[in-house]
Amino acid sequence: MLFLAHRRGIIDQTSRNLAANGIALGMHGIVQAGREGDLRPQAMVQVASIDTLLARGIRSKTMPLPPADLIIFDETHRIRGRTREYLVSLYPDAVLLGLTATPCRGDGRGLGNIFETMIQAPQVAELIRLGFLVGARVFAPVDKDIAKGVRIEKGDYVVSALAERMNTTELVGDVVRDWLQHGERRRTVAFAVNVAHSVHIRDEFVRAGVRAEHLDGSTPLADREAILARLGSGETDVVSNCAVLTEGWDMPEVGCCILARPTKQLGLYRQMIGRVLRTAPGKTDAIILDHAGAWHRHGLPEDHIEWTLEVDARAENRTHEGRKRGEAPALRECPSCKQIMAAPPPCVHCGWEPRPRGREVDFLDGELGLVRGGRAVAAAYTPADKRRWYGELVALTRQMGKRPVGPTTSTSKSSAKSRPGIGKASKSSRRPRCAAMCVRARSPSRSGGGRHDIR
């Protein structure tokens, strides 16, 4: 059996899992640069780095390819490509089993030119229900079209152009601000566009007093492991990276993900958010801070994805496409807690719902007359009474989340004119002055209200 992976972390993890299941190191061999001591050419099980195997077994021919009648290809969405497909083609009689959470190419097309059958494991929503993954709260603090107009090549944004768009003082500052506001100081992984952007994010966090580190493809292995160990222990709060931790990296304790890298690739998006959906003791959910507008393009983590083997078709989030066509409630940001709501209000996270639109009521300012002898007689109120009522009205206005307009301390006649909701006195002075308490409920759109949550 030959297990193929393209990342050191996956090879280590697989080797440990084999040992834990009775196939100790020695009974399985490892083919990977720097681990010559773990070579066991006679072992029935081989765990191999694809790149090392390609280099030694095909390019330099310094070692024979290990025999296999079962090949397990991990992160198999990466199987496409001339050399990898060639490697697999050298085992025409072996059963090929590909593993991936995102069975598609970068552009979303299926892998049907390599595989005959796709066996679908439960999807994210089901795994959350079964307790294998946690749900996510998605905050989307940026314009959903943040990457609009950025040049596209081979189905995704051109990195240099994308970095130019994203790596600005303002946007990186927002990343830090929003993390402080919504990130609950959880252990966090940030995905940046390129190295400079990732370093910038790290620097801004450090400037804000947050323990943050950066890693990229050129970070020496020992340093990378030390950085991730500090994240694991909680010594570091945020690790910013560029294309290193996107897949095949497993640290369930990480509870927050910052998406600062817009992508048109559904697979890449789901790989990035997948890093924080693993369960860990005490972890009840994940937080996704989407600075990339990815929710708008790709939908929510728990949406059902229609994967396909067809090379001429693409994986599709039909729920989300339905939202775009108006067949399902559109995703929107909760005005109160800023999380993305998948269903109409009330918000499942904070309970916010729009207040019913009040009827506009005509009113006359005045005082409630006291009925004496069959007719209402205006009561005589002292200035102190009036001051007290006005104070109560101001408090009520504030409680409704609105700003009282006009002076808050005076009850003089002149100031009463300028107060909204308190009109002129009755037209006829003979008529008893009537109901004075009048609150004109306004629709949220007109007043700017409704952004506040009254509970």
Nearer to Zn ion, 43 or 347 (CB): 347
Cβ-based nearer residue to Zn ion, 138 or 347: 347
| Residue 286 beta carbon to Zn ion: minimum distance, rounded to whole angstroms | 17
Q: How far apart are CA 352 and CA 450, in angstroms?
A: 9
Which one of the spans 29-37, 160-168, 191-199, 347-355 is the region binding Zn ion (CB under 5 A)?
Answer: 347-355
Window of 14-22, 30-38, 261-269, 331-339 that interacts with Zn ion by CB under 5 A: 331-339
For 334, counting Cβ atoms within 10 Å of its Cβ (0-12 exposed, 13-18 middle, 19+ buried), the class is buried
Selected binder of Zn ion within 55, 206, 337, 425 (CB under 5 A): 337
Q: How many residues bind Zn ion (CB under 5 A)?
A: 7
Tell me whether residue 274 or residue 450 sits nearer to Zn ion (CB atom). Answer: 450
**CA pair distance 78, 5, nearest whole angstrom:** 10
Which are the contacts of 370, defined by CB distance < 8 A and separation ≥ 6? 376, 377, 378, 379
Among residues 157 and 352, whose Cβ is nearest to Zn ion?
A: 352
User: Can you tell me whether residue 10 is helix, strand or coil?
Assistant: helix
C-alpha pair distances (Å), 106 with each of 145, 174, 314: 21, 29, 10
Which C-beta is closer to Zn ion: that of 350 or that of 438?
350
CA atoms of 11 and 51, how far apart (whole Å): 12
Q: Is 191 in the site for Zn ion (CB under 5 A)?
A: no
Tell me which stretch binds Zn ion (CB under 5 A): 33-41, 106-114, 249-257, 329-337: 329-337
Residue 351 beta carbon to Zn ion: minimum distance, rounded to whole angstroms: 7
Least Cβ distance, residue 341 to Zn ion (angstroms): 7
Q: Which is nearer to Zn ion, 40 or 349 (CB)?
A: 349
List 15, 52, 198, 336, residue binding Zn ion (CB under 5 A) = 336
Q: Are 315 and 266 in contact (CB under 8 A)?
A: yes
CB of 453 to Zn ion, least distance (A): 7
Q: Is 295 among the residues that bind Zn ion (CB under 5 A)?
A: no
Q: Exactly one of 139, 352, 433, 450 binds Zn ion (CB under 5 A); which one?
A: 352
Chain Cα centroid distance, residue 40: 43
As measured in angstroms, the least distance from the Cβ of 109 to Zn ion is: 37
In the complex with Zn ion, the residue whose CB is nearer, 112 or 354, is: 354
Give the nearest distance from C-beta 181 to Zn ion in angstroms: 14
Candidate list 1, 334, 416, 422; residue touching Zn ion; CB under 5 A? 334
Q: Rule CB under 5 A: is residue 139 a binding residue for Zn ion?
A: no
Residues 256 and 184: their CA atoms lie apart, in Å, by 9
CB atoms within 10 A of CB 329: 13
With CB under 5 A as the contact rule, the residue among 278, 283, 332, 349 that binds Zn ion is 349
Member of 161, 226, 350, 436 binding Zn ion (CB under 5 A)? 350
- Residue bearing tokens 């990296």: 249
Q: What residues does 377 pair with on adjacent strands? A: 370
Judged by CB under 5 A, the stretch of 117-125, 211-219, 328-336, 429-437 that binds Zn ion is 328-336
Burial class (CB in 10 A: 0-12, 13-18, 19+), 270: buried
Q: Which stretch binds Zn ion (CB under 5 A): 70-78, 126-134, 186-194, 342-350?
A: 342-350
Cα-only R_g, the chain? 31
Q: 430 CB contacts (<8 Å, ≥6 apart)?
A: none
Q: To the nearest whole angstrom, how small is the minimum distance from the Cβ of residue 304 to Zn ion?
A: 24
For Zn ion, the binding residue among 10, 175, 189, 347 (CB under 5 A) is 347
Longest dimension (CA), the chain: 115
**Beta strands, E only, 246-356:** 256-259, 285-290, 332-333, 340-341
| Cβ-proximal residues to 432 (8 Å cutoff; 6+ apart), any chain | 366, 369, 375, 376, 377, 378, 426
Which of these segments, 269-277, 311-319, 340-348, 400-408, binds Zn ion (CB under 5 A)?
Answer: 340-348
**Which residue ranges make up the site for Zn ion (CB under 5 A)?**
334, 336-337, 347, 349-350, 352
